Structure 1
Amino acid sequence: MKPGSKNGQQVTARRPSREEELAREAVPVPRLQKTPHAGHKPESYEDMEDLEYPALLYSVMEQHLPSNCLGASREKKLAMLERVLAKYRPNGERAKKHQEYRERIRTNYQPLHEDLYSFAPERFFVGSFLDAIKDGSEAALRHILIAHSPGVFTFNMLKPAFCSMMLEEVEHFEKWAQDAKVKVMRPNTMNNYGAVLDDIGMEDMLNELMTRYLNPMAAVLFPNVGGSSLDSHHGFVVEYAMDRDLDLGFHVDDSEVTLNVCLGKQFDSGELFFRGVRCDKHVNGESRPEEVLEYSHVPGHAILHAGRHRHGAKAITSGQRTNMILWCRSSEFRELKKYQRDFSSWCGECLLRKKERNRCLSSAKRQLAS
């Protein structure tokens, strides 16, 4: 299926009329509820064109609208949800340039490997990963995982043929961009090389990867940070080489759960290092010994960790390393996090301080009792 098409039909974006824009401007911004309304069946937005975010995101968010908004028309609810999402929308001019960039790619770029753009688990994944997902039990999922330190898991995931095709596709896209004089928009502000896979037409494929194959694992491993409600993603590749980026500084991801898979090629060093999960208040705090980890990449093997897990990459010393990364996000968790006051369920520093408070309180109670 050609990038930019849906169900084999070319999709043309519909711009809202001026009347629709005025109507949306008059819609108040609702405050989403902490828990979804039990029994409420949300609208489907799959048939609506010109949505800025995946249709599923609107359905999930609708369940958190105030009770007095649930009976509104679908168009009215969409307007409310877009007002909420506007708080997270990037600069308007940048968004316009991004849309023009994506449209130019989808109109002119001819993929090298069409197979990459439609989901094919038997061709993509190794047998052990497929078997664990098909089983679906927590025991089966944990059986294929190696826990290197608290919150950092690895497993064998991608077949060598898939890794090779993805590397070739990215190189093919970069050559096309160079020949067409198209400036490639990079994945984030930290990486100077690489490309956003969603931009070149792999959005649907990666969304299916997240929904069908990563959600079951994330729900088991990261329930406290939205792992059971992932509903959107940002998929990209990053490249490290002696003439490109060498390393990656200490940071956290803009995700709830991050999948990081090494595609190859031949390289030395470039280990990932991890330093524990922290909330915004404690993001620059010290690490405890059990939180310190260094991991050497293996082609085809995936790393799964919370987006708030502080990490970075050491300098590569030879060769080239390319990784496919999927930032998985939960709109529900992001909205609820605003109202949370206690992050001790997932922030290492908050948890340590809570344990210390409880210890002091228990000690004081024993002294009073004696």
Structure 2
Amino acid sequence: MAAGAAVVNSVERFWVCGCFFTHNIFLKKYKQHVTYFDDSNLFKSTWREALMKRGCKDEDELDAALIKVKAEVERRKQRGIQLLERKEKISAGYKPLHPPLYTLQESYLAPEFLKIVEYCQSNDATEEGLAKRLTRENASQVFSFPVFTAEFCDRFVEEITHFENSPLPKGRPNTMNNYGVLLMELGFDGNFLNPLRMDYLAPIASLLYPDVGGNSLDSHRAFIVKYKLGEDVDLNYHFDNAEVTINVSLGKEFSDGELYFGDMRQMPRDETKYARFEHKKTIGLLHRGQHMHGAMPISEGERYNLIIWMRSSQQRNQLCPMCDEKPDLVESVGYGDGFTDEGGTEEGSPSHETVEMCAAL
């Protein structure tokens, strides 16, 4: 079976919160997230002042913004069907450059990372003991550590570049990143990302973030983001649709583009307290999904990052992290956002790829 081939279990059911179709719609021109409730006049009256402050000049530009918002809402309504169509075309038409990469092997993982995981799986592991084995960044509960070997990173970037250069369709990583790859579409979930999350990342998150669902992670959404001059060069301040996020720098050669952190989403934003993190190849940065963050512009070169949004249905079934309400479940086609219906499970399925939802959905 070619990479990208996927078998969709007909009995699996997937869910999103209804806010996916109304909240966190990103207008890049104005660097603003907005809501839209199928009422053009309400949208204009609600957002006119905020958008004018961010450079919207007149009613014509406001109308143009409204058109973009409506198009994004429609894209979200069609996303499941379109994703399954892309997967089918990729499965039929893509020949991997490095087929072994699609199955996780411990030789791909940094020796330091394996030692960290081994400690987490020991009977005497504690949060304090784990923290001593990680690099604590200058931001609350943000940690870094090697994840992959440099050789694996090089081959992984080669595989992604090979796919990017193909004529096959590609889904956007999320609504804030326009360049990159949804790894579920390419076939990485089943034998690579699922075991990476369950067997290696979950033991770490369980010790560090039990208060936000780190001890009950049961699905994820994973994607590659690409930064390059003339394409995306930075990322606005935002939060992730995740309980726990890991961001791994894969290379290539680049300058600048530091990640910066502010406060938790529930706390007032204080732009004077940003903590910065310099991306280094093979190094992963682990943080809570609701920790506000962004990326400074790169000044030259290209940067590829692997992002995994890890979710806990136990946590988000109680409170949607995007609208702060009890989730209004809407059945989705093909994959969902980590919610389950009345205790049902979507455990580990690549179909759980959550959608484009950073406060950017």
Q: TM-score, normalised by structure 2?
A: 0.67
> Are residue 213 (structure 1) and residue 180 (structure 2) matched?
no
> Are residue 173 (structure 1) and residue 163 (structure 2) matched?
yes
**Secondary structure of the equivalent of 1:144?**
coil
Alignment correspondent of 1:268:
255
User: Structure 1 residues 221 and 244 mapped into 2: Cα distance closer, same or farther (>3 Å)?
Assistant: same
State the Cα distance separating 1:86 from its structure 2 match.
7.2
Which has more helix, going by share of residues? 1
Alignment correspondent of 1:77:
none
Alignment correspondent of 2:174:
188
Whole-angstrom CA distance in 2 between matches of 1:211 and 1:109 = 27
State the Cα distance separating 1:286 from its structure 2 match.
2.7
User: Structure 1 residues 102 and 338 mapped into 2: Cα distance closer, same or farther (>3 Å)?
Assistant: closer
User: Structure 1 residues 319 and 329 mapped into 2: Cα distance closer, same or farther (>3 Å)?
Assistant: same
**Secondary structure of the equivalent of 2:317?**
helix
Whole-angstrom CA distance in 2 between matches of 1:246 and 1:135 = 37
Alignment correspondent of 2:152:
162
User: Structure 1 residues 317 and 338 mapped into 2: Cα distance closer, same or farther (>3 Å)?
Assistant: closer
Whole-angstrom CA distance in 1 between matches of 2:210 and 2:100 = 33
- Counterpart amino acid of residue 241 in structure 2: D
Whole-angstrom CA distance in 1 between matches of 2:291 and 2:7 = 39
State the Cα distance separating 1:52 from its structure 2 match.
5.0
**Secondary structure of the equivalent of 2:177?**
coil
> Are residue 335 (structure 1) and residue 295 (structure 2) matched?
no
State the Cα distance separating 1:85 from its structure 2 match.
5.5
- Counterpart amino acid of residue 50 in structure 1: S
User: Structure 1 residues 103 and 294 mapped into 2: Cα distance closer, same or farther (>3 Å)?
Assistant: same
Counterparts of 1:125-144 in structure 2 under 5 Å? 125-136=109-120, 137-138=125-126, 141-144=130-133
Contact 2:234 2:298 in 1 (8 A): yes
Alignment correspondent of 2:80:
95
- Counterpart amino acid of residue 216 in structure 2: S
Alignment correspondent of 2:141:
151
**Greater relative contact order (Cα 8 A, min sep 6): structure 1 or 2?**
2
State the Cα distance separating 1:206 from its structure 2 match.
0.6
**Identity %, equivalent residues:** 36
User: Structure 1 residues 158 and 12 mapped into 2: Cα distance closer, same or farther (>3 Å)?
Assistant: closer
- Counterpart amino acid of residue 325 in structure 1: I
Whole-angstrom CA distance in 2 between matches of 1:130 and 1:166 = 19
- Counterpart amino acid of residue 200 in structure 2: Y
State the Cα distance separating 1:144 from its structure 2 match.
2.8
Whole-angstrom CA distance in 1 between matches of 2:89 and 2:209 = 38
Alignment correspondent of 1:234:
221
User: Structure 1 residues 52 and 165 mapped into 2: Cα distance closer, same or farther (>3 Å)?
Assistant: farther
- Counterpart amino acid of residue 296 in structure 1: E
Contact 1:133 1:141 in 2 (8 A): no
Contact 2:110 2:146 in 1 (8 A): yes
Alignment correspondent of 2:10:
50
Aligned with 1:287 (options 270, 279, 290) = 270
Whole-angstrom CA distance in 1 between matches of 2:175 and 2:232 = 12
State the Cα distance separating 1:202 from its structure 2 match.
0.2
Contact 1:132 1:140 in 2 (8 A): no
- Counterpart amino acid of residue 303 in structure 2: R
Contact 2:255 2:300 in 1 (8 A): yes
Alignment correspondent of 2:280:
298
State the Cα distance separating 1:288 from its structure 2 match.
8.2
Contact 2:17 2:320 in 1 (8 A): no
State the Cα distance separating 1:88 from its structure 2 match.
7.5
Aligned with 1:201 (options 182, 187, 196) = 187
- Counterpart amino acid of residue 192 in structure 1: N
State the Cα distance separating 1:314 from its structure 2 match.
0.4
Whole-angstrom CA distance in 2 between matches of 1:154 and 1:12 = 35
**Secondary structure of the equivalent of 2:214?**
coil
Whole-angstrom CA distance in 1 between matches of 2:164 and 2:279 = 24
Alignment gaps of 5+ in structure 2: 22-75, 326-361
- Counterpart amino acid of residue 116 in structure 1: L
**Secondary structure of the equivalent of 1:336?**
coil
> Are residue 325 (structure 1) and residue 307 (structure 2) matched?
yes
Alignment correspondent of 1:36:
none
- Counterpart amino acid of residue 270 in structure 2: S
> Are residue 115 (structure 1) and residue 115 (structure 2) matched?
no
Task: String of CA shifts for 1:133-153, please: whole Å, max 9, x gaps.
Answer: 123223653333111121211
User: Structure 1 residues 95 and 4 mapped into 2: Cα distance closer, same or farther (>3 Å)?
Assistant: same
Task: String of CA shifts for 1:14-35, please: whole Å, max 9, x gaps.
Answer: xxxxxxxxxxxxxxxxxxxxxx
Whole-angstrom CA distance in 2 between matches of 1:4 and 1:192 = 21
State the Cα distance separating 1:184 from its structure 2 match.
1.5
Contact 1:167 1:263 in 2 (8 A): yes
